[in-house]
Amino acid sequence: MRVITGSAKGRRLITLEGEDIRPTGDKVKGAIFNSIQFEIEGRTVLDLFAGSGQLGIEALSRGAEKAVFVDLNRRAVNVVNENLEHCRLKEKASVFNGDSLSYLKTAREKFDIIFIDPPYKKGLAEKALSLAPQVMNDGGIIVCETDRNEEMPEFSGKFREAKRETYSKTQIVIYRYTEDTAERG
């Protein structure tokens, strides 16, 4: 697994192995970043359920101003820190060892882009999505990566589904900020 483009282009990232560890494949990562490529520079990013940190690192490599990484697994946090050092992006990052849902409930910082990529089939993506709008800046983007069979809502607060794609076993749903606050069913 490598950084696709930007200041850390081509750098190899360390990954963890285990049942709940599932690094985002290059095709899926490429699709995500192709969808948001012109909206990354200068932005503040939150990488929840960070794993190796590859989504937040890719965003930093492409010009994001700052990234916060959150993972409950202590080994994952160590891997994120190693990957940030290797990519020379540590000064733009904060890494927290803790529960991603708890982080969303207590965060005081606001973000422009959030990556939600939890272990599949545990309902964590939808739970995180329901909490994410409270820590988002207007105009923000929420990117959810789930199992292709997980149901994801069309709306979350002022965020509406803008794109949904399926790649093999993976589903990507991108939510964008909308002023439309009409009743949602």
The two structure tokens encoding residue 174: 């991108």
Domain-wise residue ranges, the chain: 26-177
| Band of residue 185 on the pLDDT scale cut at 50, 70, 90 | very low
Is residue 182 over pLDDT 70?
Answer: no
Q: What is the pLDDT of residue 65?
A: 97
Q: What is the pLDDT of residue 183?
A: 45
Mean pLDDT of 58-70: 97
Report the sign of the C-alpha dihedral through residues 135, 139, 145, 147, in that order.
Answer: positive
Q: What is the pLDDT of residue 184?
A: 47
Q: If you average pLDDT over every residue of the chain, what do you get?
A: 91
Model pLDDT for residues 98-121, shown as the tens digit of each residue: 999 999 999 999 999 999 999 888
Is residue 93 over pLDDT 70?
Answer: yes
Mean pLDDT of 89-102: 97
Between strands 170-177 and 159-167, the pairing is antiparallel
Q: What is the pLDDT of residue 130?
A: 96
Mean pLDDT of 124-135: 96
- Specify the CATH number for 26-177; select among 3.30.420.10, 3.40.50.150, 2.40.160.40, 3.30.1330.10: 3.40.50.150
- What angle (nearest 5°) sits at the alpha carbon of residue 23, between those of residues 115 and 176? 20
Burial of 153 (0-12, 13-18, 19+ CB in 10 A): middle
* Tokens 């540590």 sit on residue: 90
Query: What pTM value is reported for the model?
Result: 0.91
Burial of 55 (0-12, 13-18, 19+ CB in 10 A): buried
